[in-house]
Each structure stands twice: as C-alpha cells, then as structure tokens.
Homo-oligomer: A and B are copies of this chain.
Amino acid sequence: MKLITRDTDYAIRAISYIASTKKKMVSARDLVEVLKIPRPFLRKILQRLNRAGLLKSYKGQGGGFALEVPPQRISLMRLMNVFQGPFRLNECFFKKKRCPNLKRCRLKRRIERIERFIVKELKAIDMGCLLK
C-alpha cells in the first residue's frame, strides 16, 4: 500500500527544487536534468500543478514554471489532493448507506480515527518545512 504515489512524489521534488533555486523560473528541461524524471511524465505533472494554481507557467522561449504560492502554504495534503484525489481510507466498503451488519460500524469508527490522524499529519507537512 502506498500513501504517496509517484506523481505526488515527483511534484514534491519539483516544487522543492523550484522553491530552492535562485532562478526566476525553471523549465521542464532543467527539471529533467536535475531530478532525472522522465520528461513527458514530468511535463504532465507540471501542467497539473499549473492548473491547480500551485505553479504559474510561462510559455514561449525562455519560459518555464515558477511558484504561484509560497512553499509554506503548500501542504503535502494539498499536493496529494491534486494527484490522488480526496483522501478517504474507507470509501469502498463503508460509505454505503447502511452497514451490512453492526460489527462493521465499530470497525468504521476505528478506521475514521486513523484517517483523522493521517489527515492532520499530512496537513502539517508543507513544502517549506521540507526545505530547511
């Protein structure tokens, strides 16, 4: 089981690099060099980050990407939402209108407790604190 998928992982690396560099903007080409990530895949990720409002893109020669939001305001939870959708541990079996039996509700409560902890932790991790 993976908490973080590869695209989220790559996004973390890309944002970390963009946040830490002195350059005004960074092109996909630069990022491929530095991060050793397959180029077309990285491009797709950057585009998603742009659409999500976390990066700002500049087209044309000399273009690239820059942060649209300070790294402190980009939590891991937020990134995961972009690439992995809303976080729910128990969506498949427990979200039905009624539990098939009572025991499972007990289970549901305990899983919700785990979920709350994870979400709290993920919100507390931001791209700023990963840089230090």
Residues of chain A touching chain B, judged by Cβ–Cβ distance below 8 Å, are 1-4, 6, 9, 12-13, 16, 35-36, 76, 84, 87-93, 100-101, 103-104, 106-107, 110-111, 113-114, 117-118, 121-122, 125, 129-132
Contact B130 A106 (CB under 8 A): yes
Are B121 and A113 in touch, CB under 8 angstroms? yes
Interface of chain A: mostly helix, strand, loop or mixed: helix
Residues of B within 8 A of A90 (CB): 3-4
Q: A110-B125, A114-B121 are in contact. Are A1 and B130 (CB under 8 A)?
A: no
Please determine whether A114 and B111 come into contact, CB atoms closer than 8 angstroms. Answer: no
Residue in B1, B103, B117, B130 whose beta carbon sits within 8 Å of that of A87 in the complex: B1
Inter-subunit contact A118/B121 (CB<8 Å): no
A89 and B125 contact, Cβ closer than 8 Å, known pairs A107-B12, A114-B117 = no
Could you tell me if A2 and B89 are in contact, using CB atoms closer than 8 angstroms? yes
Contact of A114 among B3, B129, B131 (CB under 8 A): B3
Instruction: Determine the chain B residues whose CB is within 8 A of the CB of A132 once the complex forms.
Output: 106
Bound Cα distance A101, B19 (Å): 14
Partner of A1 from B35, B88, B107 at Cβ < 8 Å: B88
